[in-house]
Structure 1
Amino acid sequence: MNRAVRSAAVVVIAVSLLGGGAAAAFAEPAQLHAPKPIVATAPVAAQLTAKASATTVHAWQEFRISGTAKGIKAGTEVTVQQKQGAKWVSLPAQAPVNTSGTYSVRVKLGLKGVNQLRIGAGSAISPVVSVTVR
């Protein structure tokens, strides 16, 4: 092999190694340009839990609803909702989700009887919690 051919071969191999490693230096052209598979992962569905600190309270007595928020970004406000007739109404009781994914909301109710409450954040809704006001 003459000197010019050897030099050209060395240059081609060196450029290939610099451009893509050893596999690129000796790979078939189809292997160099084949797209890598994309693996899609589904986002975590937002989930809320809720638990009242008391099941029976006096009118306007403060209690807490606390729980966990999975798939919900820290700092997002969760809101207490109360069932009034056939509708769920948001109450002026909110708290942010903290960095550990939990929340705790202070609540005072004046509507006597069994109150059905839940926590909402965006489209995520917790299971219903019942608190009786006397």
Structure 2
Amino acid sequence: MNNGFRATTAAAVVALSATLVLGATAGAYAATGEQAGQSASAGTRSASAAARPTLTAAPSASSVKAWQEFRITGKAKDVAAGTKLTLQQKQRSKWVSLPATTVVNKSGGYALRVKLGLKGKNELRIAGGQAVSPVVTVTVR
């Protein structure tokens, strides 16, 4: 009977200790998890909002003849000078990089000479520096 009492007491002490340890750990985790989650998400929001790179794009003409040269110009915000930018064209619902590139200048601008031969409406955008410009449409006739 003495061994049975000791075993029951030991089991109760282990269960109570485990409950206290797990409860305290869970409480500490919940408190730090909430605080860390709030500060991390607030820090992420302000950091991503401040450093989110953006590109603009504007064609010099909305309609051109096949193989007629036109320009696409724009500004790059939060993109380092010298960053390579590539012209992309939507082909069969996929964006394809064309062999037309330029770099961001010191003032954050760029310019690109373009010639297109694919007749019809061409959807174009500029990509680079982890940013993509809004889509611009140029009709080739």
Question: Which 5+ residue runs of structure 1 have no aligned equivalent?
Answer: 1-39
Higher helix share: 2
The aligned counterpart of 2:123 is 116
Distance 1:92 1:86 in 2: 19
Report deviation, 1:122.
3.6
Q: TM-score, normalised by structure 1?
A: 0.68
Task: Report the identity percentage.
Answer: 62
Question: What is the 5 A alignment of 1:65-104?
Answer: 65-104=72-111
- Classify the secondary structure of the residue corresponding to 1:72: coil
Q: Distance in 2 between matches of 1:114 and 1:123?
A: 26
Describe the superposition over 1:30-67 as per-residue Cα deviations: whole angstroms up to 9, x where unpaired.
xxxxxxxxxx7625100000000000000000100000
Corresponding residue number in structure 2 for 1:58? 65
Looking at structure 1, the residues matched to 114 and 97 of structure 2 have their Cα atoms a distance apart, in angstroms, of 12
In 1, are the aligned partners of 2:79 and 2:129 still within 8 Å (CA)? no
| Residue 123 of structure 1: how far off its partner (Å) | 2.4
Structure 2: state its 5+ residue gaps.
1-42
2:94 counterpart letter in structure 1: K
Whether 1:105 aligns to 2:119 is: no
- The CA deviation string for residues 62-114 of structure 1, in whole angstroms up to 9 with x for no partner, is 10000000011000111100000110000011111000000001110000000
Q: Distance between the aligned counterparts of 2:107 and 2:51, measured in 1?
A: 16
Alpha-carbon RMSD: 1.2
Contact 2:79/2:108 (<8 A) preserved: yes
Contact 2:119 2:140 in 1 (8 A): yes
Contact 2:101 2:112 in 1 (8 A): yes
Query: Using the alignment, how far apart are the partners of 1:77 and 1:116 within structure 2?
Result: 20
Could you tell me which amino acid in structure 1 is paired with residue 89 of structure 2? Q
What TM-score, normalized by structure 2, do the two folds share?
0.65
Q: One-letter code of the match for 1:92?
A: P
